[in-house]
Amino acid sequence: MIRDDVYEYSLDGHHSEEEGVKIRKKIWFVTFLLSVITIVEVATGIFFPKASVSEGAWIAIKYGYIILTIIKAGYIVMVFMHLGDEKKALKSMILVPYILFILYLIFICIMEATHVNEAWTNLH
């Protein structure tokens, strides 16, 4: 019995083999790029623990994590939410407010953590 409520969408994929190769290359590139960024973040956390680096280096590592995370998030939005196929104005209109909001939240977290650390240090 053939069901008429199930539609096979893969049958509508009318693209050539060249387009298929291009799509597969993009998938592999996205996988590779996100994997490399994640490996860098994890390796940094493993090889440079807070106890073994100076205070300045630790601050650089924290900001490096923040920057890499924002890059990954933006790239994920661009690729998986298909924002990369849109015009530059639409990309900017969507991404800039989010980036500013995220940077504001990071600023608030860092400032609050600094004040809590100072208060905790003064108590002891």
Residues 86-124 have pLDDT tens digits of: 888 988 888 889 889 988 998 999 899 999 989 988 887
Q: Can you tell me the distance from the alpha carbon of 46 to that of 38, in angstroms, rounded to the nearest whole number?
A: 12
d(CA 76, CA 30): 9
pTM: 0.64
What is the phi/psi pair of residue 53, to 5°? -125, 160
* Lookup: tokens for 95: 């991404």
Radius of gyration of the chain (CA): 22
